[in-house]
């Protein structure tokens, strides 16, 4: 992308000047998430300093986790986030990458569906295609702590519990957004 993805402009929720990272934190808090663990790796202090002064509503309920092993894959970030939440009970987990921007309304709807159906795993779909974020029951915490890159991390956990997965059809393509290229980013900004 030519710059850290987390600092890409994302003007949709809070207006011009908002970054993807600030948007994601704000959307999670706006969806009613009690605790947000932000996992930072490369340029962690730069990212944190860029977000703290601009986040609407402040940082209540937000904790920061540094993943020194971020180069080893996404599972290390998931584990760092879980470690940041380890001291408190957790009945529901929502895992969302910074390059998968979602609105508070979409996140709130997924959390409500997850709680309503009482399944272990909830995955949003748009026109039949699976998306993100994945919502997990807190009873899966110990299994989440054991994921690794060699076994495909979260995918392996979802496969292991496929009979307890609820796929929720949503009417927004944002659940499919994964901004890995400048073209994907520009296409999402235009929508």
Instruction: Count structural domains, the chain.
Output: 1
Q: How many residues does the chain have?
A: 191
- Is it the case that residue 147 has pLDDT exceeding 70? yes
Contact by Cβ (8 Å): 134, 123: yes
Q: Which of 3-17, 23-37, 166-180 has the lowest mean pLDDT?
A: 3-17
Q: Which domain holds residue 157?
A: 5-190
Q: What is the DSSP string of 132-178?
A: S-EEEEGGGHHHHHT--GGGTHHHHHHHHTGGGEEEEE-S-GGGG--
Cβ partners under 8 Å of residue 117, min gap 6: 166
Q: What is the pLDDT of residue 88?
A: 75
Q: Which of 53, 51, 2, 4 is nearest to 28 (CA)?
A: 51
CATH number, domain with residue 173: 3.90.550.10
pTM of the model: 0.88
Helix crossing, 74-84 with 153-160: angle to 10°?
Answer: 80
Q: What is the pLDDT of residue 12?
A: 63
């Amino acid at each position: 992308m030519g710059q850290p993805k987390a600092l890409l402009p994302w003007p949709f929720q809070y207006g011009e000047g908002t970054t993807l990272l600030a948007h994601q934190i704000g959307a999670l808090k706006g969806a009613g998430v009690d605790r947000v663990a932000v996992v930072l790796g490369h340029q962690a202090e730069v990212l944190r300093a860029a977000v703290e002064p601009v986040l609407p509503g402040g940082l209540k309920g937000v904790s920061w986790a540094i993943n020194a092993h971020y180069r080893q894959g996404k599972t290390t970030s998931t584990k760092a986030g879980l470690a940041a939440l380890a001291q408190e009970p957790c009945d529901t987990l929502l895992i969302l990458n910074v390059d998968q921007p979602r609105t508070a309304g979409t996140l709130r709807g997924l959390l409500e569906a997850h709680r309503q159906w009482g399944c272990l795993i909830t995955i949003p779909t748009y026109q039949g295609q699976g998306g993100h974020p994945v919502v997990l029951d807190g009873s899966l915490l110990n299994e989440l702590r054991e994921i690794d890159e060699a076994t495909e991390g979260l995918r392996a956990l979802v496969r292991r519990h496929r009979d307890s997965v609820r796929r929720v059809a949503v009417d927004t393509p944002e659940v499919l957004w994964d901004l890995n290229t400048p073209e994907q980013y520009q296409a999402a900004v235009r929508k």
